[in-house]
Structure 1
Amino acid sequence: MATDTTTTTTTTTTTGSPSLLERLNRDGFVLIPKAVSGDTFARLRDAATAATSMAREGRWRDVRTLPKQFPPWNTSGPNPTADGIWGVQGVMHPDMPGRDEFVHMYFSDAIIEPTLELLQCERDDLVLELFNMLIRPTKDFELRWHRDDIPATATAEEELERLGKPAFSAQWNFALFDDSSLVIVPGSHRRARTDAERAAGPFEKTLPGQLVVQMHPGDIVFYNNNILHRGVYDSKVERMTLHGSAGHLNGASLRARNVLQHGLRDWIDRLSFDALDEQQRALAEHMRSNLIKMAGDASDVGYSLSG
């Protein structure tokens, strides 16, 4: 068992600050406090609450089912929520009530501006990716230590080969309630796993140097999805955390599997951007066209991880 070195972070930065990218490159994550507030936040939480209730009642079938960590989730049976759920997929889906609030959030300055800085790109380079929601499970649930697009069976050489490539995506969590579910090992996005990390059990309670990311309502954390991380979900504490990503056009071949395994190509052509203003709508349409091109170029992409 590793020595207990758990700490909690309240790291802050300023949106648009030159240090945003530097902190992400150094630590593998960066927290932006109170990125969304006021009426915008209230509307988002109302929409999220309605979507969560609908999913828990079995009226939204695209969910993350317990006890499975990775897609595909067990949603084909007559009652996919029977064993409980821990996530709501496709919050921008054209059939999702309240989707306009989620669409506004995804293409808002609070998301797009940090994404442009972290990916060091122009708006034309952006690809529409994922937007889901992670919620309180009906029973305590933990994710095992993982990197999103590198299997645990990878050798050190294989890890370094993938980690040596640009991330080509900006992934984020946006908290609608207090959230201390994300546990990371800062800096692990720049190196292969240590001997201690390889020897640790998949649900090891503590790893050397690990850090619990403490979020408050309205906070956003951006993080490298190949940082070593896990989730710890308490069934007694309400949780609704929006979970999304945007990609870079140059990373389409690397990102295709990680994105398309979530089923976007089944409905992305029906997604409406009518609620956006003219400038946002132009960006949204362009990002969608980049995603559709990526989907068209990709064959059977399969799944990034299993379990």
Structure 2
Amino acid sequence: MPAHQDPLAHLQIHGYTIIPSFLTPSELSTLRAASSALINLSSQGQWPHVRTTGKQFPPWDPSLVPHSAGIWGVQHLLHPSLPLPPDQPSNPFTQLYFSPKLLALSRAILSLPEDDDGDDGLVMELFNLLCKPTDGKGFELSWHRDDIPREASAEEEKERLHNLTEAYSHTQWNLPLYHDSSLILVPGSHLRPRTDVERQADPYEANLEGQVVVELQPGDLVFYDNNILHRGVYSGDKERVTLHGSVGRADGGEGMRKRARNVLQHGVGEWVEQADFSCLETKEREVAEGMRKRLVEMGKAVGKGEVGYSLVG
């Protein structure tokens, strides 16, 4: 797919925006090697933070792996105990997530100016990996919005969809390490409630009116509104390793409370204070520490008892 010249404008209008060739060949090679090792370990039950086949939303049960289920994703790439190859002294996932070029794009989409110290209100959120189902069986996600349940009325959808007069409170992205056509979405659906046709469609409808298959080459980057109407289709025999992350902005108040449900349901709050940023350069490490601090503050502001799951299934 071609590049979109103004990422924020395209995202606001269409609900997604593509930046081609975001990764260098060297970065791509390093991330492929680390991802392959991590997927192998996780599919053998040696890393508990996984997405199990047959289940779309959290929580997932790692005890099913490998005897009763495969995996279609690996969670918590910033975790301090993430198993990396012995010849990989630094965490390339940490280096990517906090890289100046990725955070610069995130700032632009979140309408955040960078101050002289680079400490500009960004919030550390999620960083996961999506992969080919390791049980060899194709796996499909139903049509959904990440933080609005299927049962929501049109009025409820209107209330929770993004308002173009306001800055985004967070941004979400996919970064494939191999050719990827798994993401299917309906452009513009992030701005409106579902139509009657969309509401009545089968949850796994293969050809929803207006849908677009997002074709990405290795190293391309796509940002998308997580409440756009979308689904995923994963082949059991086609290579897939796609990094999947999000970054937020510290706006405080009710906006932070609403966002907490989508972020903290994944369990990141259990280890974030122990995350290791020693592989980063000084300025990048300072930015990372600030982003971590704001995530911890978000968790404290919400309270553990208030965090539930956005969707079920």
Instruction: Bin the TM-score by the shorter chain.
Output: over 0.9
RMSD between superposed Cα atoms in Å: 1.4
Q: Moved runs in structure 1, 4+ residues, more than 6 A?
A: none
Alpha-carbon distance in 2 for matches of 1:129, 1:88: 15
- Structure 2: gaps of 5 or more residues: 85-89, 114-118
Alpha-carbon distance in 2 for matches of 1:215, 1:231: 14
Name the residue aligned to 1:130. Answer: 126
Alignment of 1:1-307 (within 5 A): 10-13=1-4, 19-75=6-62, 77=63, 79=65, 82-98=68-84, 100-122=91-113, 123-137=119-133, 138=135, 139-165=137-163, 166=166, 167-250=168-251, 251-299=255-303, 300=305, 301-307=307-313
Task: Say which SS state the counterpart of residue 235 (structure 1) adopts.
Answer: coil
- Structure 1: gaps of 5 or more residues: 1-9
Please give the per-residue CA displacement for 1:144-185, whole angstroms capped at 9, x wherever unaligned.
000000001111111011114454111000000111000000
Please give the per-residue CA displacement for 1:214-233, whole angstroms capped at 9, x wherever unaligned.
01110110000000000000
- Normalised to the residue count of structure 2, the TM-score between the two structures is 0.91
Task: Say which SS state the counterpart of residue 124 (structure 1) adopts.
Answer: coil
Task: Say which SS state the counterpart of residue 244 (structure 2) adopts.
Answer: strand
Amino acid at match of 1:260: L
Does the 8 Å contact 1:47/1:97 carry over to 2?
Answer: no
Alpha-carbon distance in 1 for matches of 2:156, 2:44: 43
Q: Report how many aligned residue pairs link the two structures.
A: 293
Task: Say which SS state the counterpart of residue 217 (structure 2) adopts.
Answer: coil
Please give the per-residue CA displacement for 1:51-95, whole angstroms capped at 9, x wherever unaligned.
1111111111110011000000112x3746631110000111111
1:109 is displaced (CA, Å) by: 2.7
- Normalised to the residue count of structure 1, the TM-score between the two structures is 0.92
Alpha-carbon distance in 1 for matches of 2:109, 2:178: 25
Name the residue aligned to 1:6. Answer: none
